Structure 1
């Protein structure tokens, strides 16, 4: 069964989340050394990571950035902060979803299951190509004439959808449905920040203009001849 790494220092929350996840036969792991959170996560190779923001040593933003250098597992942020501040900061740093304290374990479970379903779906083609660019759906690496850029699972899944609908606009609602199982517990800001993060990654390899925003509708990935 799936392995969930819990980066949280509140014993009550750890116990509550662990008990609920164990009921569903998920394996749970917690932090032993707060000075080496990224190393522990890399060694554990979890399927999902749950991240608090306020932690004993460095904060969650620091560790999310550090973890993204060694692990591409989906990250769900657990925070008591307002969505427009810390949550969006965490998503920009590399998180995939969020849940606010106090939270329902049923909602947390739904979010975990949505991300697991998405990431466990075997891609029909390991490599997807548009123009001279190639996306590896297993490693989330985007290879281009200008270099290679590492995407997160959400960024990779989002780009795969856009490649499948090349030169056609994909509605925001459709992206929410495909990426987060409908986004029932998701604020649209999360989608916007993930798109912004993907666009920043594309800019590194001179592809920023390939991702278009159709205001009020959605997003469109274009080929060279459409630019």
Structure 2
């Protein structure tokens, strides 16, 4: 079964979450050394990472940034920091979703299962092409004439959807439906920040202008002749 790495220092929350996840036969792993969280996660190679924001030594923002350099597993932020800027900061750093404390374990489980289903689905095509660019759906790598960029699972999933609808606008509601079960437990800002993060990755390989925002509607990936 899937491995869930829990980055949390509250024993009560750890016990609650591990008990619920173990019921569903998920393997749970917790932090042993708060000075080397990124190393422990890289060695564990989990399927999902649950991250608190307020932690010993360094905060969750620091560790999410560090983890994204060594691991591309989906990250769900679990935090009492209910300020929108904190949530968006976590998403911008590399998180894929979030849930606020106090939280329902049923909602957390639904989020975990949604991300697992999305990431375990076998892609119809291992490699997707648009113009001279190639997206590898198995490695989450985008190869372009300007270089190679590593995407997170959510960034890869968004780009794959946009490639499948090349030169056509994909509504925000459709993206939420395909990526996060209709966004039932999400603020639309989560989608916007994930799109912004994808656009930043595209900018690294000179493709920022390929991703268009259709204000109030959605997003469109365009080919060179449409620019």
- TM-score in terms of structure 2 length: 0.99
Detail structure 1 runs of 4+ shifted over 6 Å in the superposition: none
SS state at 2:183 partner = coil
Q: What 5-or-longer segments of structure 2 have no aligned partner?
A: none
Q: What 5-or-longer segments of structure 1 have no aligned partner?
A: none
Structure 1 residue 82, shift from structure 2 partner: 2.1
Superposition RMSD in Å: 0.6
| Whole-Å separation in 2 of the counterparts to 1:82 and 1:7 | 18
Please give the per-residue CA displacement for 1:68-94, whole angstroms capped at 9, x wherever unaligned: 000000000001112412110000000
Structure 1 residue 142, shift from structure 2 partner: 0.5
| Whole-Å separation in 2 of the counterparts to 1:4 and 1:51 | 11
Match status 1:218 vs 2:213: no
Please give the per-residue CA displacement for 1:146-194, whole angstroms capped at 9, x wherever unaligned: 1111110000000000000000000000000111111110110000000
| Whole-Å separation in 1 of the counterparts to 2:81 and 2:42 | 27
| Whole-Å separation in 2 of the counterparts to 1:224 and 1:148 | 18
Structure 1 residue 26, shift from structure 2 partner: 0.5
Structure 1 residue 60, shift from structure 2 partner: 0.4
| Whole-Å separation in 2 of the counterparts to 1:213 and 1:172 | 10
SS state at 1:206 partner = coil
Shift in alpha-carbon separation, 1:83–1:29, aligned structure 2, 3 A: same
Please give the per-residue CA displacement for 1:47-78, whole angstroms capped at 9, x wherever unaligned: 00000001011110110001000000000000
SS state at 1:181 partner = helix
1:107 is matched with which residue?
107
SS state at 2:50 partner = strand
SS state at 1:182 partner = helix
| Whole-Å separation in 2 of the counterparts to 1:35 and 1:78 | 20
| Whole-Å separation in 2 of the counterparts to 1:124 and 1:160 | 11
SS state at 2:69 partner = coil
